[in-house]
Structure formats: C-alpha cells, structure tokens
Structure 1
C-alpha cells in the first residue's frame, strides 16, 4: 500500500509544475515515510524519487547513512563515496565554520524542522542551495539513530531571492542617499515614503511624517507651514491635470530664507481612474540659480567694462572679447575669434619681452605691465595689460587665458602734468616735500665730493593758524604764495627751496662759510620775508622762525639733517617767535629725551599710573577752606617726580591731552563726591582745561561724563581755562562755554594778565572767577607796578561782579595786603601745598580713603 502511495507521489511529481511539483513530493514523502517506516520497498521507491532523500547520523558517528540517486545527481557524489564515510560531510560542506554552525543548528532543532536551507558544495565545486525537511520519528534500525531528510533544490529560487534582495538593497541605498528630496503619497495626499533628504529639509522624523498630509503637518505650526500648504495646492492641480508636471517653486526654509526648487510630480491612477500614488521629486536649485545670476551679472559686467577683455583657450586662440575690446582696437569680435592675439602686436617689443612675460605667467599665474599694441587702422598705442592663467581645479592644467587691458593714450598725454603735480606744491608752485628730499640728497652728495658746507633751514610762519582763521583760507593761501616767492628770490639758483606742508618751508643753501655766514643769511632771509604784505586788502606783517642744521657737522644725510633742523625750529618757537636756533648735540638729546618721556607718559596713562593732588582754596576774609584745585602728578618709576610743566605740554603736542584731561576730570569729580558724602557738601573742585582739549572738541562730552559718573552737583565743579583758549576758533569755543554754563558748572579765567587779555572775552562770556597769576602776586609788596596790576585786576573783577582768586600766596604779609584790596580767595604755600587726597581729608576731618 505504501509503495503504491509513493508511486502515486512520483507520478504526481512528474506531472506537476516545477517547484509546486517538488514541494508536493516532499510533503507526501514526509507524511508517508513517517507513518510507514523504512523498508526495502520504501528505500527502492525513495531512490527513484525526483527529490533529494538522505539520512544523517549526527548523534554518534557524524556520517551520512543514506544518499539517494537525486542526491547523487545534484552533488556529483555516488552513494558508495559518501555513505558511512567519516569525511563525507567535510566534502559536502568544506568550510569548517559553516559546517559547525549548521551542525549546531541541526542538533538544536533535532528531528523536527522544515525547510532548513544548507549550501552544499558539489564534487565539481559548484554551490547548490538545498532546503531540508525532516521525517519525524523514523529509525533506520535497532540501535541506530539517523535523521531522515527530504531535500528540495532551491538554488534557482535562492539566487532569484538574492538578486531581489540585492536590488532592493541597492534601490534602498540609492533612495536614502539621493540628494534630491523624494516623496511618495497616496491618493489622499498622505505620506507613504520619504527619503532622509526630504525629512531633513522639513525637520521631521519618520513617525512625524508617515500617514499625514501636508495640511496636517502644517497645522502643527510647522515653520514651513505656508510652503506645505502651497505645495498641497500644486499637488491637487497635478491630480486634476492627470499628467506629470515639472515646474520651479519658491519656498521658505523656515528660517526666513527663500529657496528655489525644481519640482517633478508624477501621478498614477488605477484602472477605474482612482488616484493611487503621487511621486514628487524636489531638487534645491538655489545655488545653481545664484550661480546663474552671478554668471549673468559677470557677463553684464564684462560687457559693460571699460577695459578691453580677451579670453583665449589653452592654445591661446581667442574665444571671446567684449565690447570695449572693439572700441579700443577697432576689431569686431567675428574678425578675431579663433585667431591668436598676436595679430594685435605692434612689433615694438623684442622676443625677450614676450619670453619674460610668459615665464612670469607660468610661474606666478599672472603678469601685468605696459605693452604697445596696434589698432586695426594701424595706429600703435600703449596699453596697460593684466594677463591671468586659469587652471583646472582637479589637475592644475591651464584651461584659459584672460587679458584685461586699458588704453593709456590719454594717460600718456597727461603724464607730464601728473609728474609736475606729483613733484610740485599746488599752492606755491615750489617743489613739494618728496621733490625737496630728492634734490637735497643730490646737493648733499655733490657737497660731499667738493667738501662744501651746506646749511639746511627749516622755516615756520609764526601764528599762521590765527591769521588763516581770522582772514580766511584764501588769504592764507595768498600769504603762503608770497612767502614762497620771497624765499625763492632770496635764494640763488644753486639752492633748494620747497614747501614741506602747512606753513613749513625748507631752504638748502650751498657753499656756506660756517655758522656765522649761515646766521647772516637767515637774518637777511627773515628780513626779506618780514616786509609788510597786503592780504585781503589789509596790510599784514609776517614773521618766521627757523631751525638750522649744518652739513656735515650735524649729519651727512637728508633725514638726519632735517630731523635736527626741525628740532632746532621747535626750540626756536619755544624760546620766542621771530627767531632762529642752530641744531646741536644737546638739542638732539633733548629731542630724544622728549620722545622717551612721550612714550613713558603714554604708558602711564594707559596703566592709570598718574595721580592727583589737591591744593586748598582759601576764603580770605574767613580763612576757611572752600574748595580745592586738582593738580596732576606723575611719579616716574625711575626718574621720580616729573613736573607738570614738562609732561603737560608733551601731552598736548602728541595728542594725549584728550585721554589725560578726561581722566583728571572724572577722577577729581569722583573724589569730590566722596568728600561730599563724608560730610563736606559745600566743597568746590577746580580743574584746569587745556586749549588742546577745546581744539579736539571733547570738553563738553568729558564734563558731561564726569558729572554723570560722579553724581556731583554741576555748580560744585569749576573749570579753569587760560585766555589762550579763546584765541582758537573763537565762535566755536564760545558756543562750548555757553553749553557748559547751561549745564551749571562754573567757569574761571586762569593766569589772568599773562596772555592776550581783552575785555571782549568778558563781554562774550559771563565768567564766575578771575585768577591772578602768581607772577604778579609774588612781588605784590616789593614791586609797585605789580601791585598796581593786582589792584587793577581786583577792581575790574569787582566792578563786573566777578570773584577773584590770587595764586602763589606765600607769606602772611601778602595775604593781608590781598585782604586789604578785597581779594576774595587765595591759594599758595602760605596756606597749604598740594596735598595727597588722604592728607587733605585728614586735615578737613574726613575719614575716607582716596579715590
């Protein structure tokens, strides 16, 4: 009966269709043999089945105990070669690790498994994939243990599955790594599939995206909600059209930036016309669009450029020219395209010129220089050319050459005028500083060979700024021209005369017979310039100051002589105007010392290394301390105390007075606030202002900052300024003083009587106090003239309703005389020297630390 059933299975297998046929045989054999057991008749039938049947003893001997003819056909091994052979399994499964793993799986599953796939190696080395199923509970005989298996050759199906898996893996990898954004939606617009690029742009995870429509995602307050809604409308338009669409869209990236997108939408429909899927591919073309815009703009710039442009290929054949090229050369573009630029050559350069040009271009990638070329009409003209080589990024080979050139014809025509203007002073027509230096160097070089003495004279017009501001710049220029003419007339043809800058001139006199001869020449020169001149219809007397350096005694180079002559000029102006000064070693050392002090002062200001002392201001009738004057002190770490009379002018000359003055104002105001808080709210604080602070326009801001930082009442701050302040930009200074008075601060005139005193100042500005200079107060008892001056100043002040303060009071006798003259206030060593803040506080009964 079992034999008949097996025969029926065989017939069925032979009549069946492929895999289904073999699977039916496997299922039938497994079911039949499991119930019938193994008999010779069964074995004969098993041997003729078109499926693999084998028995394997893996518990005891690790051998194959049965191998039917289909097994032989598939593996290439005969039953006699494998059955009971101890190495049979190693032949079929030659990879030890693979065999060990599969054997472990086999033993773990036991006699109950279905479709366990093993990769079998045939005798010829071919790989075959076999799906094994066990026949449960079947024993080969008493004392034997073998697992019976029916196998199905699934190599073809396995290979097909592998190809499908590889294809899916490849497609999945491509999908994941596509730089474009890909979306797949169902017929209702719900997201079914997106790639990482799409999700990254929208900042969504898979869970946040899948199963939702654009509108549902937008309703979550998504940053790109408006773009999502607009895209949904476009999706619907694509569905309505029934065909694929391709368009460009603009979307917000959620950060306020617009992105340009190239979008393809492909809808698919079912047989009944129902909507199935919508595939959308979006490509960000923002960079390409920007690049295209730049390219278009570059093309416009190229075409609009006034420089001629030539672009050639690597073989130096012209591939493009611009409109300016045609205007300059006369050649139309179609006349030069494809030709060598050598057609423009003028023939005026030898081969070495071009060899050098190409050598520089090859080594440095660019060349620039003047070159002569020929227009279409034959005219030879100069041009300035910049030639560049463009290289391929990957390999560095030259791909193009670009030449930009400009026509120098008009420039050449103007070169003589340019050369003149570059070497001559525009106002006076004299050689300018650069030309003076060049000519002087030549004169000195000649004098070195002839052993002549040469005098270098640096001249400065006295009070030029005041005259210029008073009479106007036109009159100032006229005066400079007149001075330049007089200097030129005085000097002979062998001399050098030039204008350096501003009101400073230089004269180099040759063959001078010593310093006495030089002094005589300078005196005559000062007389010549000092003759009256008419400026703006007004007769004006001009004086000059001069500094003199001698060659070779003071130096044998232009820079050295000029530096010493300039230092001598500075000394002459410091000593009094309308005079001259010779350079000497001491003067040079003074100049160097001044530079060293300037550097040290700059460092001291930056490091907050200065300090303030405070000299009490005394109310003469009562003897009370009513205020104090802030005085800046500088203790140099190596030189000790540096007097203010030395470092204040340095600060004014080198531009440090702005920072220094601001610091003094702020520090003094903070100290006064500390004393007010400690119980002396009536104390005043006087602070000196420099004329340079007014010239730099910083006084008002610095005062406002000091008041704001300290919080003191404005009427407790008194600003002292000298009469010289009012000489500079009178109207501007007056405006600042009035704004200071509007703040509420007090104003006083310091050193009254020593400057350019004028009642006009007192009429324009209502000052609060006049300070009599100590030079008058010191000789008040012994000098009747000084006594008269002091008495007159006090009477003038009292008649104008002003308070008066006398400086430099050193004796009680002088203090009594001032009281008799009704002077209101005084300060000086008789009352107190300038005090450190802690000493001042102690004398006033205040127990507070200094600021």
Structure 2
C-alpha cells in the first residue's frame, strides 16, 4: 500500500511505500527532466493536476488548484485510501467512473466527472490523461489534468432544457408551424402542419412548397399560392399577416389566418422564414352565424339581454334601449339587477333562479324600472345556455315585452271595480276581501288583529249645511288622514257614506288598538278648511278583536259596528271595544301608562339593589339595580306589570335612561365611601336597542357619574340579539370599546346560540333561576346548569346563578365551580341605605357557607 504526503513548498515529494521506495519514485531517469522541477511546475499550474495510483485507487499527487477548487488540503487527500469517497460520495457513480477508466486504460480525453467539495457543493471537472508523463520509478501511476467546467456545463444544461421546452411547445402547438431556410426549404415542422398535408418528416424536410406541389400533392394549388406569398414576404423584408383560403385535398375549402416572419443576415442574405397558419374555418362560420343572429335580434320587437355565465351583460338589442331607456354602452358589463324595481322580495328571485337552474328556462311577469325611474311590468322569458361538451352554463338570454299598456287598461278596470271614487280608498267589497285574507293569515300565525269601524261625527249636518261638494272634500280629507297612518300592517277602506274601516294586523293587545284609535282621532281632529271655512271634526270608533270577538270578517265587522253605535251613544268623539271586559282592561292599561309617564317625568321611581356574591369567598362583589314603583294610590306595582307597558307604549327609553343614571350615581357614592371594587349590573331592554338609544344613555351615565366603565355591567337577554342582528352587534362592539362589561341574562331560556358568543366577547353568563331553583331535585335542570357552567368556563366567561334560595343549592353550585350567585338565600333586593350596611361585612346575612 502506498501513502503519499504530497509535494510541499520546499519542493520535497515524500513517498512511503510497501514495495516502492522514496528513491525509486523521485530518482530521475536519464531520459526524464529533473523530477522536483517538474513537480514544482505541476504544483503551481492554474489547472487541477493529480497523480492516481489506479490499481490501489489512491491519489498520490494533489496540486494547489485542486486544494482551491475542493477546499481539501493535500495532507487530507494524498495517500488517503478514502479520498475518492470524499470527492465522489455516491458509490454507484464512483464505481461507474472507475470502470470507465479501466476500460479505456487511462487514455480518455475530456472525461467529465462531478466531484463534491468540502462544503458539499458540486463541481463539474473535465479530466484528460497526461500521456507520456512519468516521474519516479513507481509503476501504475497515471497523471491527470482537470479543468473546472461547471459554468459551461450549467449553461449547456440550461440550453438543453430550453431546447427541450421549445421542442415540446413546438410539438404541441395546435397551429401549423413551419421553419424554412433562406431558399424556403422545410427545416422544421410540427405534427399539426405535417398532418394537414399528410406528409412524413422524410417527405417534407429539405423540400420547398413548389417541389412538394410538383409531386401532384392533393393540396398543390394551396402550396403554390403559399410559395408566392412567401416570396412576397421575403421581398417586402418584413412580417406579413393575411387570411387565405385553400382546398384541404378532400374538396373542402378551409380558411386560414397566416403569419410569416422573415429573418436576414448582416449582409441582407435570407436566413430563415417562420410561418404560422391557424385554421379559422370554424370561427368564421360561427362569426357568420353570430352576425345573422345579431341581425335577427336587432329586428326583434322584444327587448333582449345576453349575459355571460357570471350574469354580466355582454349584449342588448335596439328594442331593449327603446323599452328601458338605457343605451347599450350604459349597461354592458353590468348586472341586469340594475333594472330591478324593488317590487319583488328575495323569495321571488330565489324561486326564479331555482326554476332556471333546474329546468333551464323561466317565464313569467316581472316588474322592472326604466332609466327615468318609471316602474313598469314585463313578460319575460329566461334561458340558460350550456356548453355542449361539459354542460356548464356559458350564457343567459332574456327576452321581454312591455306590458304597460295592457296593465294600464287592466288596472283601470280593476280600480273602477274595487276603489271608492271619492276617496280613492278600497271600497267595501275590496276592503272585505283584503281583510278576509289578513284574517286567514292571522289564523295560521296566531296573530291578534284589530278591526276598527270609524264614523265621522255630525257628518250629515256638515254635508247639509256646507253642500255635497264640501261633504266629498271632507270625506277625502278624512280618508287621507286615516291613510297617513297606513303601513304594511294596516288596511284602510271606505265602507259607505261617512263610515270607514281600519284593520290592523299583528297587534299586541287591546292597549295597542286603543293607542291606534287615539292616534287616528288626533289626526282627524286637526283643523281642516271646507268651503273656505275652518272646520274641526271628530270621529267615533268601534273595535273588535280577532280571534276573541270572532274569527270571520262578517262577525268581527258586526260586533265592531255595534261597538261604534255604543260609542256614539256615550257622547261621540270616543271609542268602544266590542267586549266590555276587554274595554275595561284596555282602559286600565291606559291608566297605568298615564301614571307611569307621570312617575318618570316626576322622578318618583326608585331603585333597590340585590347583592351579587362571589361563591368561593362569600364576599359581596357587586349588585344588580332593580326598578321599583310605589304608586300613591295603588301601592307597589310589580316590575312584571309596568315594564312591559313601558316597552309597548315607548316609555322604556326614558325609563331605561333613568335607571342607568340612578344606578351609576349610586355606585359612585359607594366607591367614594370606600368600596371601589364594587360592580353595578343594569338590565337593558330589547326595545332600548331597537330605538337606538342604548349607547348614548350609557355614555351619559358614565359621564355624569364619573365611574370607571369596567365597573358597569350591562345585562341583556338573548332576545335582544334577534332584532336587527347586525345593528345590535355594532352597538355591542361600541359598548365593549367603551370598556363596560356585557352579560347574557336568563341564559338557556331564549334562543341560545354559539354564534353570538363567538362574535361578541361577553364577560358573564347568568343562569336563569328556573334551572337553579330545582338544581337538587331535577336531574334535567342539574344537567343544564352543569353544561352551562362548563361551556362558560371553556370560553373564559364568568357564570352567575340567580334564584339561589337554599344553602344546599349554593353548595352544589360551588362544587360545580360556579363563579357568582344571587338570591334570597343571601339577600333580597335592598334599599340603598340597607345595602350600604351590608357592605360593612365580608359575608351577607343568611350566608352560612
């Protein structure tokens, strides 16, 4: 085994050999140049030089350029049996390369090997054996010189990759592509070009179009024409683009779009001609058909809209512009929804698209809007066009005709048969028909409906004294004032003479019906001018309620009419319910409403405070503000009675603001008295959110009291989130931005949903007392409570159990890790001064945990 340590800077070449001595390797022969001088030269050459003992696979010489390229020093490589494995770490690759050396007996030139440097990078080296070079007496050693050709190799690889890519693109182009030399001989074509002419590579390459045509090729006429066009392109010196027709050899005339691009040398000699031919026969046929279709569309008297698959308008005809008033440039690229009148709800369009998608077409009457804003009826037919191959929708086509004239005639006839000519209101028959439909709907939805019959007091006297013209004017004015209160819930009609009917659906009870009559009485009672005279009139009304007074129109009308005459007997200018009990209940409700309004305006309502207990410690950590009303004559009126009345009659806005202010000011007083950690919880009504006053009221309460927002907690029921959800969410987000706390009251009794728990970061969940009260005895309630607590804890929310009345329930809640509790077990609602006394103790009275 031979070990070589290399040639150092002092020109020493060391060799340790089992059979070959140092002197044998380094002693110069008579015919050789001095070995140390040769080695010195090889050491410093700017190319890689190695000496390889091929039989033993050992490198015995490693020059400086080798060290520079590989970063391996001579001491690491020379004589190292594993050096080749360092340089060529892939065994299969190294074995194949060494086998090549053995087969060629070291006579290869420019044999490229890829070696691995110390850093792991790859270098491509072109090795050549140095024949005739022999230094020393050692046998089996060959000398090699190497050049780093990595950059060239990478460039070659990129060039090969580019050629492969170009060939692949060229081969798969659907167009016919030809590359010709300066004499128009075929050099290269793609399969599409050869297939059209039915030629093989051997039949085409090296020939011109004329030479191929002279073989009596079926497309010889087209080839000769092409040769002439190519010569014209050469002579023009620039690219040409034209459309040509040619026989395909089977008797069919085809159309082609042809581009010819010539290239010239520096001296102007012809080099190459690139020809690209595209078969546009089908496109021209389609274009012709489309042109004919366009002419037909333009001559149509129906408006036509064509949209793409995304329902964007791509074409309209002249009739479209005549009917809608929009020119084509104004609608192209837009959605046909721009024409919508707003007369149809979402369910109409959902049904339309469902039919169109399932059956491929839809036809029906639809109302749209012209450019001038006029709403008009159309008869429209819609069709969906599908791609033949895959079935995807490519276009939608709508044709429509204007039904305005026909509708106008129909509506005039319908109006004369259903409307009152004097007031323009629905007549008796039409009012009865509409009312019947409302009552059928109310029966299905279990709504209450109020049927109100109204009579103008002393109308006969006014009519006789001022004349029939003034009487008609009075009826029109009364009709207008009654109609001013019209909305989607109301039907207003004239029955006969001075008698009118107002039907109100989805009323909440007799109180709302009474409010409606009062509002109508006030509206009609305003001064009007008749025959140049100021006149004040009053009305009387009879009210019947569905379903308690009857389930059909005739029955309700009869009872309301009887109630009307009863009202007139009682002095006119008033109203009467059909049922005496209902009438008394409505009056009682109005009395309570009036007294509540006075109590709010005079600030005679008061607040009591129920302690909120931290269950683990038993400490009072907050309080819930509860409104109380002590009526001077009726005594204490429960919140369950007066708060719903406040919500129904619109007093909840003022009441809610009053409670917020009082509670905030009281909390400020307790903070100043040395209890800054105390929280205040205030209930919010859904009606406060609907009226949009919550945010302003909270801001005012914080500003007046100066308390920290995070000490105020607002409780809202789940029903709040059902009314105008996005608007409510926006208010809640702004409240959170103020820093106040939010809790959900009576959780589990309403419309529990994880959706709003994700959308708004609530701070607390209150478990309704209906679940807490039977926690011990009812397994279902216990499961609900346990589930709510687990849910809240997993969401990082606090939990408050309300209605805790026994120590056993309190202990169970502690065991379930409930955070807070309130209830009679700890304390009833307390007046402010009593609550202040409770704050002096860490545990409230009655707490024994």
After TM superposition, the score normalised by the length of structure 1 is 0.40
After TM superposition, the score normalised by the length of structure 2 is 0.40
Larger Rg: 1
